[in-house]
Amino acid sequence: MIDNFRHKGLRKQLVAELEEKGIKQQAVLDAIMAVPRHYFLDPVFTKQAYSNMAFQIGAGQTISHPYTVAFQTELLELSKGDKVLEIGTGSGFQTAVLCEIGAKVYSIERQKELFLKTKQLIPKLNYTPKLRYGDGYKGWPSFAPFDKIIITCGAPYIPEDLVNQLKNGGRMVIPLGDGKVQEMILLVKNEAGEISQKSFGKFSFVPMLKETAK
């Protein structure tokens, strides 16, 4: 795996594009600058790795647009050391961005092929998230509660188990909707445990799949 000046130059352009589109948090922009997105893609896509595009990553799934990754990450308002649950590890790019910002990441993927591929790749980049093959609807009870939860697939509803695994004072970002287009929802649990929701516009994700027989 090579990360050369050309890749870095393209990343710089991508970061400028994200800023233009409204991404403001320096930690998020720095993380996009730091993570070599081309490592997460099939080599046939290397040339386009730093355009704001989604690509096939196998098992019928896609890596999210860099803008979507940046937007969801920004909504989490991460602090170093936050315990973050991610649903939908996929290529691992979003996972790497969260790690780069200093979060302690727990990520679940339900496609075995992708889980195995990403489990091999991530340690090569010196990130140390906990990765698990399983059903995201159930969350990861043994490590709950989490400061932040990010869902990177289109959820037909807000899974109750995930809400229960969010700390008081925590934030969850979830694309909500079962069609091709979802509404980006920020769910906030205040210190008293009360829930409020805000909507942040339309995005398009692959669906959050229902549990299947293993």
Question: Which residues of the chain form contacts with ligand SAH (CB under 6 A)?
Answer: 57, 61-64, 87-88, 90-91, 93-94, 108-111, 114, 135-137, 152-153, 206, 208-209
CB closer to ligand SAH out of 111 and 165 = 111
- Verify cis geometry, omega within 30 degrees of 0, for the bond prior to 145: yes
C-beta closer to ligand SAH: residue 64 or 165: 64
For 85, residues 6+ apart whose C-beta sits below 8 A from its C-beta are 106, 107, 108, 139, 140, 143, 144, 146, 148, 149, 150, 162, 165
Tokens matching residue 69? 């990754």
DSSP alpha helices (H): ranges in the chain?
5-20, 26-34, 66-76, 93-100, 112-124, 160-164
Rg of the chain, C-alpha, whole Å: 16
The least CB distance from residue 129 to ligand SAH, in Å, is 12
CB of 110 to ligand SAH, least distance (A): 4
Active site residue 64: yes
Distance CA 91, CA 194 (A): 34
Q: How far is the CB of 4 from ligand SAH (least distance, A)?
A: 23
The torsion of the CA quartet 43, 48, 52, 58, rounded to 10 degrees, works out to: -30
* Residue closer to ligand SAH, measured from CB, 29 or 98: 98
CB of 147 to ligand SAH, least distance (A): 18
In angstroms, the CA 112 to CA 81 distance is 28
**From 64, 79, 107, 196, the catalytic residue:** 64
Catalytic residues: 64
